Structure 1
Amino acid sequence: MELTTVWFALIAVLWIGYFALEGFDFGVGMLLPVLARDDRERRVMINTIGPVWDGNEVWLLVAGGATFAAFPEWYATLFSGFYLPLLLILLALIVRGVAFEYRHQRPEATWHGWWDRAIIIGSLVPAVLWGVAFANIVRGVPIDADLEYTGGLLTLLNPVGLLGGLTTLLLFLTHGAVFLALKTDGEIRHRARALALRLGSGTAVVAVAFLLWAQLHTGTGASAVVFALAACGLLAALVALAAGREGWAFTGTFVAIALAVAGLFLGLFPDVMPSSTDAAFSLTTTNAAATPYTLGIMTWVAVLVTPFVIGYQAWSYWIFRQRISVHHIPV
């Protein structure tokens, strides 16, 4: 297998990890005003993701760095063409991270309220814009013969892009609600489970519509199978949740998001950024790749470092696996 294909697959895995892991803490952030009745309950919700949210963002940093090193042409066209949406995502993530660190620094309700709003908005903006961005990558964007993006912001806000944004928004909300049902106890747990069940049917309809479009637009036989399994994973999650099996339900939403992203990459390959202007101008794993020497060095680094990163994050989830409730929060 060529190293360009290997690195395309590795970048796909990094995005799969990012969406499946960061997705639930985006969902938790967006659900703060929906599920919490008072400050102690909001603190419970924030504490469920407190030990892991920053580790989840590492997947995004590594995905960006890997794209820059392995496919510099892809990185250049993507980050220049999608500059404003990606800037908004970056600002939202910065504000959100600051909010997690500063919220508890003062006791005033007004202080908490402002930082809670920052968490909500900082979770909502990326949840929508990542879907818009990926839908446009799969759909294809105007790229000229110099491999430069020639569209504008409104080019990205097309019906397909907006459908992608709605899909990730609903998936992350459902994923977050299921995570809260798994990680909390008491009233929050019951509210989260009920909300996830209510959200689930609408999420399934929207997600299936988007995946069906993706399959018809760029799909292959392999992506069709993966998309079907993703839909089954989401339905299985709702069945498990109705039966009170939150652990299996979270596994189902995790698998559904992971397989949906995997299917998008399977349908995209060997393109990394299709051109809607002319297929000959599309960025591929061949014309967007770095030199074989660079890819070879990166491969050895990935082989040596990746097991430690995954092992540490798995250890973190294991250590903080217990449920929490308002009884654990001092008045």
Structure 2
Amino acid sequence: MALTDIWFLLIAVLWTGYLVLEGFDFGVGMLLPIVGRDAIDRKVTLRTIGPVWDGNEVWLLVAGGATFAAFPFWYATLFSGFYLALLIILVALILRGIALEYRGKIDDATWHRRWDLVIVGGSAVPALLWGVALANIVRGVPMGADHEFAGSFFTLLNPYALLGGLTTLLLFALHGAVFLALKTHGDVHDRALKVVPPLGIASVVAAAGFLGWTQTLDGSWITWALAVAAALCLIGGLIASRLGREGWAFLGTAATIALASATLFTTLYPNVLPSTTDPAFSLTTLNAASTPYTLKIMTWVAVIFTPLVVLYQGYTYWVFRARLGRTDFPTPVQKVAS
């Protein structure tokens, strides 16, 4: 394999890792008002992602940095053409991070309620728009010989991309519900399990439609196999949840997102951003890549540091593996005036 192919594969892995890990973060945030009926339940819900959510976002930073360094022309066209959509995602992520950090600074119901709304919105907006962005990357955008994006923000809001956004929104919500069932006990656990079946059915319909549509763009036997595997993992995860096997259910939804991402990137290759104006104007792994010397240096850096990052994050998940419930957050004793 050429270094350009290796770096396309590595970037695909980084984006897949981000979607799987940040996916359940988004899902937990979106489900906060559904599974958290009172202050203690909401505290339990948010504490499940408290130790890991910021570490999960590291995958996004590394994926963006790797894209910039390995394929600068892809990065330039992508971030100029998708500027408004990516800006909205960035603002939502910033507000969500602020809300997660500042919500507990003041013990006041109104303060908590306002930040809870920010958490819900800051989770739902990226969950939707990442799907829209990925779908447009696979489908292609209007682009001339100069590789400049020739559309507008509304060009990105085509039916295929909107279906992609709906698919990621539902899959992440389902992923979050299964994660909560795995990480909690008591009321939050029971409410999370109740939303799994309806979210599962909606996710199956949306994902089947989106991945089926993707195959009509540039499908092959490999992408068909990946899409079918994703569907089987999703169904298997729902069955496992029904049987009370939360660990296997979470593995099923995680594998579904990973395989769906693999389907998209395999469909995209060897392009990195197709042109709907003329296929000859498309950006590929060859004409969008950095110099061989740059890719060689990056490869050595990745070989050394990537395993360290993965090991550290895996250790974090291991340390905070215990289930949480209301008994872990007792209600403060109210002082009675004499």
TM-score by shorter chain over 0.5: yes
Instruction: Specify the alignment match of 2:16 in structure 1.
Output: 16
How does 1:175-190 map onto structure 2 within 5 Å? 175-190=175-190
Per-residue Cα deviation, 1:199-250 (whole angstroms, up to 9, x for no partner)? 1011101101100111111222111111110000000000000000000000
Letter in 1 for 2:33: P
Per-residue Cα deviation, 1:35-58 (whole angstroms, up to 9, x for no partner)? 111011001000000000001100
Whole-angstrom CA distance in 1 between matches of 2:3 and 2:55: 27
Instruction: Specify the alignment match of 1:214 in structure 2.
Output: 214
Q: Does 1:40 align with 2:40?
A: yes
Whole-angstrom CA distance in 2 between matches of 1:263 and 1:45: 32
Q: Offset at 1:178?
A: 0.3
Q: Offset at 1:85?
A: 0.5
Letter in 1 for 2:298: M
Instruction: Specify the alignment match of 2:268 in structure 1.
Output: 268
Secondary structure of 2:272 counterpart: strand
How does 1:41-60 map onto structure 2 within 5 Å? 41-60=41-60
Q: Is the 8 A contact 1:215 1:223 kept in 2?
A: yes
Instruction: Specify the alignment match of 1:174 in structure 2.
Output: 174
Structure of higher CA gyration radius: 2
TM-score normalized with structure 1 length: 0.99
Q: Does 1:299 align with 2:299?
A: yes
Whole-angstrom CA distance in 2 between matches of 1:121 and 1:211: 26
Instruction: Specify the alignment match of 2:250 in structure 1.
Output: 250
Whole-angstrom CA distance in 1 between matches of 2:69 and 2:252: 33
Q: Offset at 1:190?
A: 1.2
Per-residue Cα deviation, 1:254-274 (whole angstroms, up to 9, x for no partner)? 000001001110111000000
Q: Does 1:199 align with 2:193?
A: no
Instruction: Specify the alignment match of 2:69 in structure 1.
Output: 69
Whole-angstrom CA distance in 1 between matches of 2:199 and 2:124: 16
Per-residue Cα deviation, 1:132-178 (whole angstroms, up to 9, x for no partner)? 00111111100111000010011001111110110000000000000
Instruction: Specify the alignment match of 1:139 in structure 2.
Output: 139
Q: Offset at 1:108?
A: 0.9
Letter in 1 for 2:23: G
Provide structure 1 residue ranges, at least 5 long, that are not aligned to the other structure.
Answer: none
Instruction: Specify the alignment match of 2:228 in structure 1.
Output: 228
How does 1:86-125 map onto structure 2 within 5 Å? 86-125=86-125
Secondary structure of 2:57 counterpart: helix
Secondary structure of 1:107 counterpart: coil
Whole-angstrom CA distance in 1 between matches of 2:94 and 2:194: 31
Whole-angstrom CA distance in 2 between matches of 1:329 and 1:119: 21
Provide structure 2 residue ranges, at least 5 long, that are not aligned to the other structure.
Answer: 332-338
Secondary structure of 1:272 counterpart: strand
Q: Offset at 1:330?
A: 3.4
Letter in 2 for 1:317: Y
How many equivalent residue pairs?
Answer: 331
Letter in 2 for 1:195: V
Q: Is the 8 A contact 2:142 2:149 kept in 1?
A: yes
Whole-angstrom CA distance in 1 between matches of 2:39 and 2:79: 39
Whole-angstrom CA distance in 1 between matches of 2:81 and 2:212: 26
Whole-angstrom CA distance in 1 between matches of 2:29 and 2:119: 6
Whole-angstrom CA distance in 2 between matches of 1:31 and 1:8: 34
Q: Which runs of 4+ in 1 moved over 2 A?
A: none
Q: Is the 8 A contact 1:220 1:266 kept in 2?
A: no
Whole-angstrom CA distance in 2 between matches of 1:215 and 1:268: 11
Q: Is the 8 A contact 2:178 2:192 kept in 1?
A: yes
**Percent identity of paired positions between Structure 1 and Structure 2:** 62
RMSD, aligned CA: 0.6
Whole-angstrom CA distance in 1 between matches of 2:235 and 2:206: 13
Instruction: Specify the alignment match of 1:322 in structure 2.
Output: 322
Letter in 1 for 2:207: A
Secondary structure of 2:48 counterpart: helix
Letter in 2 for 1:178: V
Instruction: Specify the alignment match of 2:336 in structure 1.
Output: none
Whole-angstrom CA distance in 1 between matches of 2:93 and 2:329: 26
Secondary structure of 2:189 counterpart: helix
Q: Is the 8 A contact 2:41 2:187 kept in 1?
A: no
Secondary structure of 1:286 counterpart: coil
Whole-angstrom CA distance in 2 between matches of 1:198 and 1:210: 18
Instruction: Specify the alignment match of 2:334 in structure 1.
Output: none
Q: Offset at 1:33?
A: 1.1
Whole-angstrom CA distance in 2 between matches of 1:30 and 1:292: 43
